[in-house]
Amino acid sequence: MTGKLIAYTNARLLDPATDLDRPGGVLTEGKTILDFGADLFKDGVPDGAEVIDCSGNCLAPGFVDMRVQLREPGEEHKGTLASAGATAVAGGVTTMACLPNTNPVIDDTSVLEFIARRARKIGLAKVFSYGAVTKGLEGKELAEMGMLSEAGAVAFTDGVKTVSNAKTMRRALGYAKNFNLLVVQHAEEPSLAEDGAMNGGETATRLGLPGIPAEAEVIIVARDIRLAEAVGGRIHFAHISTADSLHIIRKGKERGVQVTCDTAPPYFSLNELSVGEYRTFCKLSPPLRLEADRIAIIEGIKDGTISAIASDHDPQDEDAKRLPFAQAAFGGVGLETLLPISLNLYHTGEMDLLQVIKKITCDPADILNLPAGRLVKGAAADLTIFNPDIGWKIEPDNFASKSKNSPFDGRPVQGRVLRTIVDGRTVFELDN
């Protein structure tokens, strides 16, 4: 059965996977991309097709976010699958991977299947799930990674918890290798990070806050690269925040270790001084680091050491943030700010537009082996139309997210999503 024809005309086509950046159009039929290209509509649009004039704006594959916390099931007061889906498509994200730290934990196929069913029913951004590395995220007994993978888990992580026991991590990497699975680590040595509230150093001392030293991240990165090298497994580090971690990852890559990493917008656009006078919205995990680390993260994105930019969407309710800094919850929402903050790398001349968009489309999709992030004939019609130059101010109260805890509150930015299409359906359109 054929579906409705829609012609997207007068677009600036962007497909980072093939270095495509030129004027053109896209034709969709039902849920799929029928065709695209520079001269697609030179003889006019097909009879009966609905025309959507992109007015010269960018048309790219829908964005892929590889690190999102949904909060459903278990913490619906912070966020739901519906609110996460709404805030995702408002940010141009059509595919996202959710962490397993739900309640109950995604260490069982029934929870994974529940999330998949709910996401399909809601019909906004597509949701893929990580499986837990260890049962209950307790860092002791391995979860049934093989069964979870068969049920659709895209990779394995203990979410915001570090698999801190080296023997357990070695076993996980070895087991994952047998199934060609990816293990994703939140790199933070718990005993060094315990009771810490922000980056360790002079600023923390001046503010009278307990610090989390950079070594907490670096030690786990160094250890797990050695373990992956020993067993031949695949390791990915989430939200890398320090220059020293990047140095170790580069050395690991040079030795042929199967290691990748991502970062999140706060780590290349903010530093520890953003905490200011105890701004709890800037209490993140890992913490905001030194300016030298921020610059190093930008270099890591530019040279490819960092393969992807993820939103690290971590919704917290107001009560959890309106506390003294040391007691406030870690985390910031990020789905609606993923594009404009990432585009700052383009507007400052650090990277060209295709290079930036690559980090939020095909690169994260490749890491997780997801069918997304590319313009491909016959593929799902998941598209994002955006203007990279529109200026606006981030006002979290206007977010579709249930929680509003953004570290970018009040920041002027450039770049706005105008329309988001999932399976050929417009699921978000910016109000004029």
Indicate which residues carry an active-site annotation. 312
Do 383 and 59 form a contact (C-beta atoms < 8 A)?
yes
Phi, psi (deg, nearest 5) at residue 235: -125, 140
Beta strands in 304-359 (DSSP E): 308-309
Q: Beta-carbon neighbour count of residue 192 at 10 Å?
A: 18
d(CA 330, CA 106): 21
Beta strands in 30-92 (DSSP E): 32-37, 50-53, 58-61, 63-68
CA distances from 31 to 28, 209, 423 (A): 7, 52, 4
Closest CA to 368 of 42, 98, 13: 98
d(CA 180, CA 174): 10
Which residues does 348 contact at the CB level (< 8 Å), separation at least 6? none
